[in-house]
Chains A and B, each alone.
Chain A
Amino acid sequence: MTKPLIVAPGGSYEKAIIALNYGADAVYVATNQFSLRKSASNFTLAELESLCEIAHARKKKVYLALNIFFHQSDIDRAIPFLASIQGLGIDALIISDLGVCALASEHTTIPIHASTQASIMNEYSAALWSSMGATRVVLARETSLAESMAIKTAVGVETEVFIHGAMCSSFSGKCTISNVASGRDSNRGGCIQSCRHSYQLSNGDVTYIMNSKDLMGLGLVPDYFKYRVDAVKIEGRMKSALYVANACQQYRLAIDAFADDPGLFYEKKDALKQQLSRVSNRGFTQASLARPANESSISYDWNGYSSSHQFMGIVVQSQGGKSLVSTKQPLKHGEVVSYIQPNNADLCSHTVQLQSLLGHPLSQASPNQWVWIDGALPAHSLLVQ
């Protein structure tokens, strides 16, 4: 049974490493040029090359998103940029612009994946991209899993289908609300998420009418196998390392369980869904994976994100019976925190004994501070509360 690859977001070097450690088969990342997540930390070319080396050593892959709609002024910069990334070891470029697809084919030998921004819904669109050199199509999120297999069968191209994360309420690439309403280009990394706002309708109603719940396709993992999806995508380059780790871990467990023994998957399914819910979310929907998304996919009464766990910090490395932690929230000496580990989804608890980098006792640590804590926790463990 061929397992679909898990493709996870790498919004920064740190998050990409976390994704690979928690079960991703591939990470998609970007430099600060030509990508839709302009506000993410993004990568320098040196970081990108290093990440490729780390990923390849573990037989994993790195995809680079060049998924904006290119303006004419970008094209002049695109060709030297493509030349500069040719030798870095990137496994695929994620592209939404047919012109850039042609340029990438001409100026690099890096495989091309058609982005979900290309809104590929049918075999003819997939065939067009395939004829332009794309080896994989990331299908529009409006495409069902059954339709994905029809496309794969008709065209012979690899399919990638979203499995988890935030959803555009529109076809991705077919929304310019941000552009017109606020002067920021939603298809070039400037989306202000107008679809998350409430709207006062002319009939007097006020509602979050377009506020999509987040996608959770875990319950449909058997269908991803049945419909021979080549890769499943987790959305979220702007999300926290905890979100990335948690999503990668639960989908790794789900996919491996189903491949080993479908019965085991059904035993674990509810627990894995519960684990996914512990990190910040807008409520969940299967969107259009099985049938067209309807009113149950919208969070009309928005009361904020829900989560049961707060992200406190990352264990960067351990040595000499202590662990170096990069904090995300204030930590207090003597505080009891939980942590998840790359190879264990169950929460363990630990009492924090803080030391400064120079080894001095600390009563507390601020967010974004690096400190030592007593105890050799596994590297890349994530502290939560």
Chain B
Amino acid sequence: MTMLSTYVTHPNHAHWLKSYDIHTLIIDCPFCSVRSHDRYDWGNDEIEDVQDKCRPLFMALNLDGLYSSHELQVIESTIRARALDKVFNAFRVQDPGMMVWARAKFPDIAIQFNPETGFQNTAAISSAFTRGAAIMTLNHETPCSTIQRFQDALPQPALELFVQGPICIQYSRRRFLSDLYQFDPNLPIRLTAEDPELPHRTFTFLNTAFGHFMFAQFHRCLARSKKKVIALGSMPWLIDARGVSEDYAKVAINLYANLATADDATIDDGVRQLEALSNVPQKPGFFLSNQTDVDWRDHDVPKQNDKIGRVLSVKKDDALLIEFFVEIDKGTVVTCWNPDGTTREFVLDDCVDLDGGSVERISPFVPLMLPKGVTGIQSSGNLVRCA
């Protein structure tokens, strides 16, 4: 059975969470958790009570901020003063440096690393495990094909998959809403916002004492991608219902806990409930594929290192002025790749320097004139050797 990780936002939730097989219960504490929506300040007895009832593998304190050294001193002293290192057995961190901090200050606490961005290659993921991560949460931009590559390439990777919930797409240390309205920054503020340049997409803005967080116009929802999710093998699934509702959390947990055996109709029903409870579309996002690398600028242009020169100036009734990055012989045939995508071959003959003197060997980074010009050449064209 797949284990679930989730954020528990109130002690009362233990009575229904205890029915599930929980890997990690994550708790936000107002003194350190940066995107805490409700600032519920847990007592140690409440944390222990939830742990006793739900029996997760890990009770994790959410240390999800990018903190200054001074803030880390305050966090450390608060953890010690409140004996939180006795009730939590894991810290969930975003800043990779926090792994160094946790190892130095609380060596017995497990480190759960949720970098939110980056760490999308095996070299980076390996570096996180080398630095002490017990488990790493894959960010929302990593497609399933890449996750499969991680599974294949890394020995026993302890990876966690974010399967359900709001996607944080921006973390700022500035507090845009409380600054704008001069509200008390210690009281979380939530508004929705639309960008007129990207109509019909409603983003959520959350302002806390630690900064500003912007959430995507849809929730991450991998339930309908069940086959691909399950094909990735056993890994904890992370569900985030913070800022939505307890009912949303219940539906989501139940849906994913039973996903492996659920039929399509049951899954559809669950996803529809999540949509109704959140009033936000439920989508897989980049899980199925990530096309953000596809770029129109990459098409039909020479590779950067194939370029041997460039067009400096083109004007009717004047010389063509070009420059090469490498030494080149007179008589060489070159191709000009114009900015509009057209190409034009021409021979480097009748070349002169800026004084009009004949040039036999063309030196790099020295402007070179072709006094008669060449038709079909455009300004800012790139020059490559003719194949």
Contacts and interface: CB of A to CB of B under 8 A. Distances in A.
A124 B120 contact: no
A185 B117 CA distance: 11
Max chain A CB contacts within 10 Å: which of B116, B121, B149, B291? B121
Contact of B313 (A75, A132, A357): A357
Instruction: Classify the interface of chain B: helix, strand, loop or mixed.
Output: mixed
Contacts of A182: 198
A38 B318 CA distance: 33
B101 interface: yes
Nearest to B150: A72
B272 to A, nearest CB: 23
B16 interface: no
Contacts of A72: 120-122, 146, 149-150
Contacts of B367: 316, 324, 370
B68 A210 contact: no
Interface residues of A, number: 100
Contact of A200 (B117, B193, B293): B193
A295 B367 CA distance: 49
A159 to B, nearest CB: 13
Max chain A CB contacts within 10 Å: which of B170, B317, B355? B170
A140 B304 contact: no
A204 to B, nearest CB: 10
Contact of A128 (B96, B217, B321): B96
Contacts of A201: 191-193, 205
A32 interface: yes
Contacts of A87: none
Interface stretch (A95-103, A257-265, A336-344): A95-103
B292 A183 contact: yes
Interface in B340-377: 354-355, 364-365, 367, 369, 371
A330 interface: no
A33 interface: yes
B127 interface: yes
B80 interface: no
Contacts of A122: 67-69, 71-72, 95, 97, 101
Contacts of A303: none
A371 B196 CA distance: 44
Nearest to B171: A174
A74 B123 CA distance: 11
Given A102-B123, A180-B169, A197-B195, A31 B97 contact: no
Contact of B124 (A70, A174, A212): A70
Interface stretch (A44-52, A56-64, A226-234, A244-252): A44-52
A356 B69 CA distance: 60
B126 to A, nearest CB: 7
B219 to A, nearest CB: 12
Contact of A99 (B66, B70, B123, B195): B123
Given A119-B95, A182-B198, A173 B180 contact: no
Contacts, number: 277
Contacts of B118: 69, 96-97, 173, 187
B100 interface: yes
A368 interface: yes
A142 B169 contact: no
B97 A120 contact: yes
A169 B101 CA distance: 27
A143 to B, nearest CB: 7
Given A124-B97, A177-B170, A200-B194, A97 B66 contact: no
Max chain B CB contacts within 10 Å: which of A72, A123, A140, A171? A72
B226 interface: no
A135 interface: no
Contacts of A187: 117-118
A71 B293 CA distance: 9
Nearest to B214: A177
A170 B193 contact: no
A182 to B, nearest CB: 7
B319 A128 contact: no
B125 to A, nearest CB: 7
Contacts of A360: 317-318
A177 B95 CA distance: 20
Interface string B83-122: 0000000000001111111001000000000001111111
A44 to B, nearest CB: 5
A128 B96 CA distance: 8
Nearest to B292: A185
A125 interface: yes
A170 B297 contact: no
Given A210-B176, A295-B179, A356-B315, A175 B304 contact: no
Interface string A320-347: 1000101000000000000000000000
Given A122-B68, A169-B172, A185 B380 contact: no
A175 B117 CA distance: 8
A2 interface: no
B45 interface: no
Nearest to A96: B118
B321 A357 contact: yes
Given A142-B173, A175-B170, A181-B201, A357 B124 contact: no
B67 A202 contact: no
B216 A180 contact: yes
B326 interface: yes
Interface string A179-198: 11111110110100011011
Interface stretch (A20-28, A146-154, A217-225): A146-154
Given A128-B97, A170-B171, A293-B174, 13 more contacts: A45-B305, A46-B325, A121-B69, A140-B66, A147-B69, A185-B141, A185-B293, A188-B293, A197-B195, A199-B205, A294-B174, A357-B319, A370-B313
6 contacts: A99-B126, A100-B121, A122-B97, A298-B176, A320-B355, A368-B380
